[in-house]
Amino acid sequence: MRTLEQSASFSPLYQQIKELILGGLQAGEWQPGQAIPSEMDLAERYKVSQGTVRKAIDELASENLVVRHQGKGTFVASHREEAVQYRFLRLVPDNGKELILKSKFLSCETVQANEALAKQFGIKNKDPLILIKRVQSFYGKPVVYELIYLLAARFQGITLEHLTSWSGPLYGFYETEFATHMVRAEEHIKALGADRLVAGHLSLNEAAPVLQVERRTFTYGNKTVEVRLAHYETQDLHYANDLN
């Protein structure tokens, strides 16, 4: 375990405590969905005030790395929880209905990384990746077609049967089966016309308008473990983002 002396000497004390707690998360000391020690226990552990620990946890909570449950404690954030399973998906139904998507996994295979993917993952060109193809439907209507690339070394043994038998959110699958927790994501969005492949999967006419969303998702330590190229059909949906 790192000591405060080993932390950044010029950062505020609460930031140093935040880094120490984050180090525990990265090391797997507390798993997604598991409670972390109380503020009092952490204050004793790190020999600081409870207020300093509280401020550190406030920042971790604001970054969605931990979740406070009133009267129960603070827990490591988990995509298995219903409230956060669509944390990185910004599609919102126009009619105000709850977004509930049904997944259909089409394929799961090992492919070679091209130069662009290798750069994003920080691996060598032609290193192995897992490619998953999936369609997600909203009330029976296909609205998302995506290509999902994963690091083969981290997701060894993943199969189409394994994916199909999983009933929860995909990021929850990563947590449960591969001890990989997605903590943040970056997206690039472009409006364009659907090509023949995308139009076929989304039951659209060719060149119909869609949103192309490229998402790069990171685990602890700012490590890229997933890259998605998705196409969203937004006739009855819109893309919403809270800029606060």
Q: What is the pTM of this model?
A: 0.77
Tell me, what's the pLDDT at 79?
62
Using alpha carbons, select from 179, 176, 129, 174 the residue that is nearest to residue 153. 129
Tell me, what's the pLDDT at 11?
78
Q: CATH fold of 4-76, please?
A: Arc Repressor Mutant, subunit A (1.10.10)
The pLDDT tens digits for 47-82 are: 999 999 999 888 888 877 888 888 888 988 776 555
The pLDDT tens digits for 126-185 are: 999 999 999 999 999 999 999 999 999 999 999 999 999 998 889 889 988 898 888 888
Tell me, what's the pLDDT at 187?
93
Of all residues in the chain, the percent with pLDDT exceeding 90 is: 49
Of all residues in the chain, the percent with pLDDT exceeding 70 is: 91
Q: What is the CATH number of domain 82-239?
A: 3.40.1410.10
The pLDDT tens digits for 10-26 are: 678 988 888 888 888 87
Q: Which pairing describes strands 223-232 and 73-76: parallel, antiparallel, or unpaired?
A: unpaired
Domain boundaries, the chain: 4-76, 82-239
Residue by residue, DSSP assigns 180-205 as: ----EEEEEEEEEE--HHHHHHTT--
Average pLDDT value for residue range 196-212 = 96
